[in-house]
Structure 1
């Protein structure tokens, strides 16, 4: 309780006594139990109370039905704070609708860089953006390396910093969760970003 301080200096001399220090002190509420000390069915008594009607709210719509009205930052919070929950799946679905993609190796959300003429804060005005590739213009075409890999600028959501990070990255399409390789060369899709086809609903956290 007080490291390095003798309890006797706090006028608590009778610590060895079997009598309670304060006879009227008890833990709320007093436990009720059988006489058997091994009876683990003890329950604390909950006093009767009345909940005012002002605290009763029953017309609030479920958050799952309002995902499209939430900001990216709120969706990220729901996704990472409610693992294996329906709300996490709904948040993931809405993030995908906004062109975010889950990278299964990095375990991060990522998306294509903002195209020219579109603000980098268009989908998350309250979420800070750290630009680690300031010399590369927004929306610069990505460079295909092979049939499954391309290199270019992407925007990641960094959970530890709670920020979006714009940086250069070499992407393997097979590392994107629940997506298959689109038909046609990557170069034909570089200007507008790669279109992915959803094949499974699961997401890791």
Structure 2
């Protein structure tokens, strides 16, 4: 006896209404012909088409896999690993550590915090301290920049200025000098201050170390704007100090 193609006969009444049974699967597969969007839901994704090397014998994929829809791997501090209790020093000294003074940190350390702790309080306070040192974040270029200590502002209006700037390139991890026209509307606003006392155990990263909670971080971008400063006559920046700050305000 031949059965009609992709049809089921002589099935119990309850099986018809059961969407999770074999009849339900068959009904779902029929709907795929009319709705291509259901293909991924029913049949899933081919992980090899997502750029994953499933045949690598060197390491397990899940250790650093951020998910099929993530543009990057799992951050180092979020990778699960077994840590002996003797290495969890924060559990023993978290109430004895003095607050971290960001003003004592170099620019490189602040940039490291900003680029390696996205969405965390560390990124917020690093941005706030960089702003205090006359660094500004360019929204279009997605980089930090500041006036060069060796160049003057050649032209300045209420909307833009022309001059020499140092741009921090996170891929090369260096400051690159550049002559450019800088429009104030392309710069982020001043980041909000959320405090800098990181000695309290209100969070954790990596192997259980203490860290700040991210609940108070605004969801919007958190960087700065020249236009919030005092616009005046073109003035060259002062010399660099050992702490990395600029002697005079940017504008």
| TM-score where L is the length of structure 2 | 0.42
- Tell me by how many angstroms 1:182 deviates: 5.7
Select the residue among 174, 180, 187 that pairs with 2:185: 174
In the other structure, the counterpart of 1:142 is: 154
- TM-score normalised per structure 1: 0.50
The one of the two structures with greater contact order (alpha-carbon pairs below 8 A, sep at least 6) is 2
Equivalent residue runs for 1:1-205 within 5 Å: 51-52=85-86, 57-59=92-94, 61=97, 65-114=100-149, 138-144=150-156, 146-178=157-189, 179=225, 181=227, 188-192=233-237, 194-195=250-251
Contact 2:153–2:161 at 8 Å: present in 1 too?
Answer: no
In 2: Cα distance, 1:98 partner to 1:149 partner: 20
SS of the residue corresponding to residue 170 of structure 1 reads strand
Q: How many residues align?
A: 121
Q: Following TM superposition, by how much is the alpha carbon of 1:97 offset from its aligned partner in structure 2, in angstroms?
A: 1.0
- Bigger CA drift: 164-173 or 66-75? 66-75
What CA RMSD, in Å, does the superposition of the two structures yield over aligned residues?
3.0
* Bigger share in helix: 2
Residue in structure 2 matched with residue 201 of structure 1 by the alignment: none
Return the offset for 1:141. 3.1
Change (3 A) 1:79 1:185: closer
- In the alignment, structure 2 segments of 5+ residues that lack a partner are 1-54, 56-83, 190-224, 238-248
Q: In structure 1, what is the equivalent of residue 20 of structure 2? A: none
Cα deviation for residue 53 of structure 1 reads 9.2
Please give the alpha-carbon distance, in whole angstroms, between the structure 1 residues aligned to 2:182 and 2:102: 28
Partners of 2:250 and 2:135 in 1: how far apart?
11
Q: Is 1:143–1:190's contact at 8 Å kept on the other side of the alignment?
A: no
What is the rounded CA distance, in whole Å, between the counterparts of 1:53 and 1:166 in structure 2?
42
Unaligned runs of 5+ in 1: 4-49, 115-137, 196-205
